[in-house]
Amino acid sequence: MAQKLWEKSVQVNKNIEKFTVGRDREMDLYLAKHDVLGSMAHITMLESIGLLEKDELQQLLAELKKIYATAEKGEFVIEEGVEDVHSQVELMLTRRLGDIGKKIHSGRSRNDQVLLDLKLFTRAQLKEIAEAVETLFDTLISQSERYKHVLMPGYTHLQIAMPSSFGLWFGAYAESLVDDMLFLQAAFKMCNRNPLGSAAGYGSSFPLNRTMTTRLLGFDSLNYNVVYAQMGRGKMERNVAFALATVAGTISKLAFDACMFNSQNFGFVKLPDECTTGSSIMPHKKNPDVFELIRAKCNKLQALPQQIMMIANNLPSGYFRDLQIIKEIFLPAFQELKDCLQMTTYIVSEIKVNDHILDDEKYSYLFSVEEVNRLVCEGMPFRDAYKKVGMDIEAGNFKCNKDICHTHEGSIGNLCNDKISLLMRQVVEGFNFSGMEQAEKALLEK
């Protein structure tokens, strides 16, 4: 059985070991390839300051590339008795290269290793989330343009209010994603700073070149203060969780609308048959289970920032084992949100809309404001026009005119989808994912 990196002459109680390790080995599989990348940058820097020989560096890089390839294929395993991903990588190197493998930890702590791994993992995941959000955005804009002339009721207090359109409905969620993408961009920029070299939170007496590892890993800058680098554990996850939660909030609201509008009492949209499920007892049922599950999963994701806060909220500066538990709720959240985004994109692209909703007379009062505005344009004061139309409605004399003409920015007749798309392009360009991608590619080709 492998010895712990920190173990000396006394072996830890087995029950204590099981409790303290918890799900760390399972969670660390998410981080494996990122841990290897971090080690490649770190040892390249160690060689530059004289703590590794050139030939030792080449041997280590060659073996680390093999481990990276194993992790990329999903075949990386943390063995029984090995505490975490950092220990497993070092063990594999030591088995293959002997004492050279023991040199890679100089100037590091597992504290800054896991900080680094989490940041490398998170920034890669944020890129995938941003791409999935952009794909959903494009689909919503496309549907908004496709159905921009199809009117539907707008609601306040769940009572019919004023005319809306499917152009407005799809486009509203598209613009919501633009703001959500700004949150993702801010989270990415906070994440994309290098903590490596902060060690256990107090730096090192080795003459580490932290600027070099920042460049090698494609970070925008350093977490300069080593104490703050350690304080960032939990804070980074919380900030990213808020960004994920705001995307989830948009999707959850869209899912609720889609479920409601798909019901027979509304009949505004029809979900694809292959995206619905049946009942074991009612043969007519076509249930919107996918959107219901999306709604539930996204509502759960909106609780993630609070969960992280409750774990990290009352901790002073410095490292504490409490922070380990954040991994269990944070690392799987990205895939859950990506799944929701992909499912939503597919169904939105296939959804069919009812283009004769307003033929039903019960929607006639939607056009009461249009009549008020017509009278105002003819010279009647607004309050008088409002009262007249109200009295006509009460007396049963209201006659609606369904020919409407809205021209101002963002209205039924002027959706501004081109402006919304421009906003999204500007936000996407602001991420600058190419820096991290080019750096990681260069490291793997060393």
β-bridge partners, 193 = 221
Distance CA 300, CA 312 (A): 19
| End-to-end CA separation in angstroms for the chain | 33
Domain assignment present for 320: yes
Domain assignment present for 184: yes
String of DSSP letters for 102-168: GGTTTT--HHHHHHHHHHHHHHHHHHHHHHHHHHHHHHHHHHHHHTTT-EEEEEETTEEEEEEEHHH
Domain assignment present for 409: no
pLDDT of residue 1: 42
Return the half-sphere exposure (C-beta side, CA atoms, 13 A cut-off) of residue 291: 27
Domain assignment present for 61: yes
Residue 128 shares a structural domain with residue 18 = no
pLDDT of residue 6: 45
Say whether 279 is catalytic.
yes
Distance CA 244, CA 238 (A): 10
Domain assignment present for 398: no
Residue 83 shares a structural domain with residue 202 = no
CATH code, domain with 325: 1.20.200.10
Choose, from 221, 263, 279, 317, the residue flagged as catalytic.
279
pLDDT of residue 58: 97
Looking at 336, 358, 380, the residue that finishes a domain is 358
Provide the token pair at 86.
């950092």
Domain count of the fold of the chain? 2
- Do 100 and 64 touch, CB atoms closer than 8 A? no
Residue 273's domain comprises: 110-147+168-358
| Gyration radius of the chain over CA positions | 28
Domain assignment present for 427: no
Choose, from 9, 157, 205, 280, the residue flagged as catalytic.
157
Residue 219 shares a structural domain with residue 123 = yes
CATH code, domain with 59: 1.10.275.10
pTM of the model: 0.92
Residue 41 shares a structural domain with residue 60 = yes
Residue 207 shares a structural domain with residue 341 = yes
Residue 80 shares a structural domain with residue 119 = no
Give the torsion sign (CA, 264, 270, 272, 273): positive
Residues of the chain with pLDDT under 50: 1-3, 6
- Do 288 and 276 touch, CB atoms closer than 8 A? yes
Say whether 142 is catalytic.
no
State how far the alpha carbon of 117 is from the alpha carbons of 90, 411, 420, in Å. Answer: 15, 46, 35
pLDDT of residue 147: 97
pLDDT of residue 8: 52
- Do 433 and 427 touch, CB atoms closer than 8 A? no
Looking at 338, 358, 378, the residue that finishes a domain is 358
Residue 340 shares a structural domain with residue 316 = yes
Looking at 68, 103, 138, the residue that finishes a domain is 103
Residue 234 shares a structural domain with residue 261 = yes
Residue 80 shares a structural domain with residue 96 = yes
Domain assignment present for 63: yes
Residue 125 shares a structural domain with residue 46 = no
Domain assignment present for 354: yes
Residue 84 shares a structural domain with residue 139 = no
Residue 191 shares a structural domain with residue 273 = yes
